[in-house]
Structure formats: structure tokens, C-alpha cells
A and B are shown apart, each in its own frame.
Chain A
Amino acid sequence: MRTVFKNGRIIDPSQELDVVGSVIVEDGQVVDLGEDIEIGEYDELYDCEGLWITPGLVDLHAHLREPGEERRETIKSGTQAAAAGGFTTICCMPNTSPALDSPSLVDFILDKAASPEAGGIFVQPIGALTKGQRGLELADLAALKKAGVAAVSDEGGPIQDASVMMRAMEFCLQLDLPIMVHSEDLNLSEGGCMNDGPTSAMLGLTGIPRSAEEIMIMRNGVLALNTGCRIHFMRISTWGGVEMIRQFKYLGAPVTCEVCPPYLTLTDEHVGEFDPVFKTTPPLRTEIDIDILMQGLADGTIDAIASDHSPYAPYEVEVPFDEAPMGMSTLESTLAVTLTHVTHKGRLSPMETIRKLSTAPAEILGLDAGSLMPGHTPVAQITVIDPNLEWVFDATRTFSQGKNSPYHGWSMTGKAVLTFCGSEVYRCAHFDEERYELALA
């Protein structure tokens, strides 16, 4: 089986490659790519003229909800949504029910993700850092690592006790297991449901001060510096957080961080009509934060862009704002929002955009992904992007079961039109049928 991606703009940050050319896949693996390569005979051909050919996108941070919360999402619907969003590898968070704190649950997820009904992409489980994600006793981390987790995390219920966190870091350093941290001081954020600021004051909603995030970034950064354990800061939302991480990197702490598109495009003022789709954690902040987050992306302080895909059942968000759960369904909007509001606004080059969405996240967790280099990944992971496709995001028509998107009705410029993970796993209706050709007779 020989598949040709012909005449696209190949953007592969893993090789610093940005050329117009073709990519050849044989039996599911990239065998050649570049300008002026011999296309030869083929079984299928994608004409990629005017489109980008990039390594399959990699998401560090998605909630697939299975097991236990299938009302919100399943591994099947979540991986289909990911494929439609251009992702070929996604990391799923351990805050399922039960929490992902045992090897058998890791096996369960890997089996489900590999089943033919699923979306055909790779799911990389993230294990729970503590038993039941209760923040008290460490989970069996060596066993989890052996079962295949790439990192561990307590997600939205982070360890509050600094001595527990320090021991966790020492143990993870020994296992060479990165910890993904959500930085939140739960005392400071208690009862809060949106950013503490003028809008929360006007609406009479309890605010979450930025200090709740910044204090924990500071604590975790100090512990990373002193223990040497690798820490990945998830979903940074404050300008202070960016400045601190910049400083920790300067000091040589083994830290990386991600931002999610909502923190680059939405502010707490969007909560003005009490619509729970704008409720997330950490909360949406302000224009100043957006500005510094954009700078952090551009200067490399922020390594990756992640979705923080957090789907909910419709009835869960048809409630008063302070009773609603926190999170947004975003796998199918992450690339488009990034292209529309970051890349096309000149804040990131196409190369850097793909780095943040593919190569960098793969490198952070050491995943077999994020590169088109022949032999780099077990199967070819390729995303074809139409950077100029104009379309309107319709949250009611997503693959994800979670319709809680803040971007419903937004005009987008750019979309993944083809996702390939060993074989085609998603092809957008916009991908002109004339661009696809089966074997010449």
C-alpha cells in the first residue's frame, strides 16, 4: 500500500523543514518526503496543493471521561473528535471514575482506544499521581509506568501539602516520570467560579484570585528546581504565571508548560450573561493575561498548546453558573482557534504553530509522535491542514458528545482537512473529492 501526499507545504518542526513537496507513505510508514521526490506508482493520492502537510497533532491534555462518565464522552467519541480536530495522539487525563490509578485501568483505556470502533488515533494515558487522586498517598507509580503511562497527574485536584508533593517529585524523578500539574491553591479558590475582577463583582459571583494559580506555580517550580523532577505546568492562565515559569526556566528548573486556546481568546467578561460554557478552571482571565500569554508563546516560555478538552452532558451545563462544572469541549476547535487567533494574527509562524501543537508536546512526554521523519514514529501520523479554509464552528455538529463549546457560531480560518494515522482516520467534507485519487488502473 503506497500513499502519496502530493505537492503540499511540508512543515515539520522536528527537522526544521518547511518546503513544498510530497510525502510518501508505504504500508503505514513514512518512507520519503521532500521536494523533487519521485512519486512513482501509488495506491492512493492526496493532492495537497495549497495545503500544509504536518506531523499529526499531539494533545497533552484531553478528558475522555471513560471509564465512569460515559454520559460526557467515551473513548470512541473522544478519539473521533480528536481525529476531526487534526490530532493523531492525545493524552487522556486520569480524573475518570474510578481514577486512573491502576495498571488494569491503563490496559482498559489502551484496549478501547485500539478497538476498530474508536477514532483510529493513539491515546496515551496519564496516570493518577495519588491513589484515587485524593492527594494523600502516592499511587503505584512504578506499576503505572510499566503499564504505559507517559506521565502522572492529579489534574484538577492538585496535592496541597508541599511535603507530599516534594516526596512525589523525588519518587517520580527516580522513575523518570514527569508530573503534569494543575496549579491551584484550593484554599484561595474555594467557592470561586470565575476570575476575581470587575466582572465577578458586578455579577455577584465569587471570584478566584490569580494568586491561587501563581502561588502554586511558584511552589511547584521551587520544588522542581530543588528536586530535579520534570514538571509540566498545565493550562497556564495568568501573566504572573508566565513570568514565573520564564524565571524557573532561566534558573534551570526542568519545567515545561502549556496554554489552551480559551486563555488566548476569551476573558472573564465573556461570563457576562452567566453562560456556563465560559466556566473553566483556571478561570478565563483578562486582556493583559492574553497579551503576556501570547508573548510567552512567541518567546518560547510556553512550550505547547493543549486542548484541555472537557466535555459535559447537556443537562450538566443547563444550570446556574456557580453550580455548573468547569471545562469546555475543545478538541475540534483547538487547531482552528489557534490558526485564526494566533497564527493568522502574526503571533506565531506556521512552523512555530505546528511545533506547539505537535513536535513540542511529543518531546515533552517522549511520545512516538510529532515528526514526519521516516522511521521516527511506528506508523505515519500526518495532518493535512487547509490554513485558509473559512468555516463556522457549530458545536451542535461535533463528534464529541460534549457540546459545551464557547466557540459556537465563531468564524474560523483554517482547519484540519485530513488526518492520517497509519491510514486515513478523518477526511473533511471540505476536502475536495477531486483531491483524492485511488490507484490508477
Chain B
Amino acid sequence: MLFFENSTRTRVSFEQACNYLGYRVVNFAGSGSSMNKGESLKDTILTLKHELLEAVVMRHKASGSAQLGQGYFGGPLINAGDGQHEHPTQALGDALTVLERKGRLDGLKIAIVGDVMHSRVARSNSWMFSKMGSEVRFVGPRTLMPSSMAMLPGEVFYDLRTGISGADVVMCLRLQKERMTDGRLSSMGEYRRLYQVNRQTLKWAADDAIVMHPGPMNRGVELDDLTADGPDSVILDQVSNGVFVRMAALKWLFDGEETNS
């Protein structure tokens, strides 16, 4: 388990998945970039390979690092989040969560709301849900939306109301505090006014819409308390399902078995 970047949630989720499966886990906590640390990603991965680890779960702050790491490792490597690029097991868990509640994925309207620009969760989920036949929408302020979304599978909305109108799933993204300091947003309050999913704004979505958040959430910002803890919220199911799909992914890698996720 190779975490170059701190991530308690994903790390615990993978550890728990390994515990259930009876796999032994070795933790390697790197910090910062290869440049700061003095050892390159290449050398770290080659070291693990020659310590005969059978699989690697890797989190790194650089987009594309999982692909690079896999090249050096050769064997199974699970991307536990690479920069702003992808977080595939999160998307698998989210898809399972929606499937449990809705019984299907095709034909659903999925609105992904918030800081799309910096979100690997948004990217992986857009691929996941569009592949399964859902209609994906990206919703957020222009300052947090890439200038061109032409290569990502979803329509872009800058207005929350039209963006989540009729949506079956409203997936909120985490808003980082640094978006205020880099001039993309004036304040959390401004974001709340424009994009908070709460009991009022959720009425714009489908009647039986469910609300998701990959965590950790800023309570009262992306979501209000009542919605986060309410009956439409599946946020904790996402957490549980995250463990199950990570078990499935690990088992599939080792046994090559098809699993139903």
C-alpha cells in the first residue's frame, strides 16, 4: 500500500478490504513529490517490486503517476487516486451504491456538482456512469470548471438549478479551502449561495433523487446537515460499498475471477 499523499479514508478502506480477504498489507507512506523526497517514483516502485510484493495500491498527487508506476512495477497496481486524473475504485463504489438504490444505471441522470476542475472523483465517475448508460452532467462555477470539457463525457452547466433539474443522482464534490486563496471563489458563503445542495435546492432534482458525496465533506457548504443526514443521502453507503468494491478489485486481480460489482 503505497500512499505518497495522505488519505486516511481511502487507505483505511483498502486496508479493511484486505483484512476481510485475509491479505497481508505492507504500508509505505511516502510524502510529497519524488523531488522533495529524494527518491524517485521509479526507484520506490522498483524497490517494492524486488521486495516481492504481489500487488500495489497507489495514491500519488501527480496525474498519470499510476500509469507510470504500473510500467515500473509490471504486476497488478490499483490506482487509489492519481492527482486530479482518476480514482477508479471510488467510481466503482459509487456505481454500486446507485445500483442498490435505483436498481439500474442506464438512463439515469447523474449531476456532478462542485469543483470539477480539481476532482479525480468527477472524472472517474463521469467515465463510469456514462459507460453504464447514464447521462452525466457537470455543474459548477466557471472558475472551477476546465475551460473545455469536450473530451469528458458529460454536458456542462454553470447554474445549479438547470444542472440538477430532474437529476436522479446529485453527487457533490469536496470544496477545498485553497480555492478561496487562489482567487477562484470569494468565500465558502458565496459557494453555498450558488451551489449548496439542501432541502430547497434538492427540490429541483427528481422527486426520488439521492445525494452523494465522496467525503470528506464540509458540512454546511456542499450540503446542509439535514440533507447530508437525511433519507435521500447515501453517503455512508458509499463508504461501505467502497470497501466491498475494493475487495472485489483485489480479488479479481489475484484470482482473475469475474465479480459482480
A→B interface (CB under 8 Å): 196-207, 209, 273-274, 315, 318-323
Chain B 111-165 interface residues, beta-carbon cutoff 8 Å to A: 117, 120, 123, 146-152
Question: Contacts of A204 on B, CB cut-off 8 Å?
Answer: 63, 82-86, 120, 123
Contact B152 A201 (CB under 8 A): yes
User: In the complex, A206→B83 CA distance in Å?
Assistant: 10
- A–B pairs, 14, beta carbons within 8 Å: A196-B146, A198-B151, A201-B117, A201-B148, A204-B120, A205-B63, A205-B64, A274-B64, A315-B42, A320-B60, A320-B63, A320-B83, A323-B35, A323-B62
Contact B64 A198 (CB under 8 A): no
Chain B, residues 12-43, CB within 8 Å of chain A (1/0): the string is 00000000000000000000011100001110
> Cβ of B65 < 8 Å from any Cβ of A?
yes
Chain B 147-201 interface residues, beta-carbon cutoff 8 Å to A: 147-152
User: In the complex, A207→B151 CA distance in Å?
Assistant: 14
User: In the complex, A314→B252 CA distance in Å?
Assistant: 35
Contact A319 B151 (CB under 8 A): no
Residue of B nearest to A197 (CB): B148
> Cβ of B67 < 8 Å from any Cβ of A?
yes
> Cβ of B99 < 8 Å from any Cβ of A?
no
Residue of A nearest to B147 (CB): A196
Contact B41 A203 (CB under 8 A): no
User: In the complex, A201→B89 CA distance in Å?
Assistant: 20
**Cross-interface CB contact of B67 among A200, A201, A274, A315, cutoff 8 Å:** A274
**Cross-interface CB contact of A320 among B62, B120, B147, B148, cutoff 8 Å:** B62
Question: Contacts of A318 on B, CB cut-off 8 Å?
Answer: 40, 42
Question: Contacts of B152 on A, CB cut-off 8 Å?
Answer: 198, 201-202
> Cβ of B53 < 8 Å from any Cβ of A?
no
The smallest beta-carbon distance between B176 and chain A, in angstroms, is 14
Chain B contact residues, majority secondary structure? loop
**Cross-interface CB contact of A202 among B60, B82, B83, B123, cutoff 8 Å:** B123
Contact A205 B84 (CB under 8 A): yes
> Cβ of B68 < 8 Å from any Cβ of A?
yes
Contact A201 B151 (CB under 8 A): yes
User: In the complex, A134→B98 CA distance in Å?
Assistant: 54
Question: Contacts of B34 on A, CB cut-off 8 Å?
Answer: 319-320, 323
User: In the complex, A323→B35 CA distance in Å?
Assistant: 8
Q: Known A204-B120, A319-B34, A323-B34; judge A209-B64 contact (CB<8 A).
A: no
Q: Known A198-B149, A274-B68; judge A203-B85 contact (CB<8 A).
A: yes
Contact B63 A274 (CB under 8 A): yes
Residue of B nearest to A202 (CB): B151
Interface size class of B (residues with CB under 8 A): 20 to 34
Contact A198 B150 (CB under 8 A): yes
Residue of B nearest to A318 (CB): B42
User: In the complex, A209→B33 CA distance in Å?
Assistant: 25
Contact A201 B68 (CB under 8 A): no
Question: Contacts of B86 on A, CB cut-off 8 Å?
Answer: 204
**Cross-interface CB contact of A315 among B40, B83, B150, cutoff 8 Å:** B40
Question: Contacts of B40 on A, CB cut-off 8 Å?
Answer: 315, 318-319
User: In the complex, A200→B123 CA distance in Å?
Assistant: 12
User: In the complex, A207→B148 CA distance in Å?
Assistant: 10
Question: Contacts of A209 on B, CB cut-off 8 Å?
Answer: 147
The smallest beta-carbon distance between B33 and chain A, in angstroms, is 6
Chain B 38-72 interface residues, beta-carbon cutoff 8 Å to A: 40-42, 60, 62-65, 67-68
Residue of B nearest to A196 (CB): B147
Contact B83 A322 (CB under 8 A): yes
The smallest beta-carbon distance between A205 and chain B, in angstroms, is 5
The smallest beta-carbon distance between B101 and chain A, in angstroms, is 28
Contact B65 A320 (CB under 8 A): yes
**Cross-interface CB contact of A199 among B60, B117, B151, cutoff 8 Å:** B151
The smallest beta-carbon distance between A403 and chain B, in angstroms, is 16
Contact B64 A203 (CB under 8 A): yes
Question: Contacts of A206 on B, CB cut-off 8 Å?
Answer: 84
User: In the complex, A198→B148 CA distance in Å?
Assistant: 5
Chain B, residues 71-101, CB within 8 Å of chain A (1/0): the string is 0000000000011111000000000000000
Question: Contacts of B151 on A, CB cut-off 8 Å?
Answer: 198-199, 201-202
**Cross-interface CB contact of B149 among A201, A203, A319, cutoff 8 Å:** A201
Known contacts A197-B148, A205-B84, A274-B63, then 12 further A-B pairs from the complex at CB < 8 Å, ordered by chain A residue: A196-B146, A196-B148, A198-B148, A198-B149, A203-B63, A204-B63, A204-B120, A274-B67, A318-B40, A319-B34, A319-B40, A319-B41
The smallest beta-carbon distance between A161 and chain B, in angstroms, is 20
Residue of A nearest to B150 (CB): A198
Contact B148 A321 (CB under 8 A): no
Question: Contacts of A203 on B, CB cut-off 8 Å?
Answer: 63-64, 85
User: In the complex, A200→B148 CA distance in Å?
Assistant: 9
Contact A320 B84 (CB under 8 A): no
User: In the complex, A206→B82 CA distance in Å?
Assistant: 13
**Cross-interface CB contact of B41 among A196, A273, A320, cutoff 8 Å:** A320
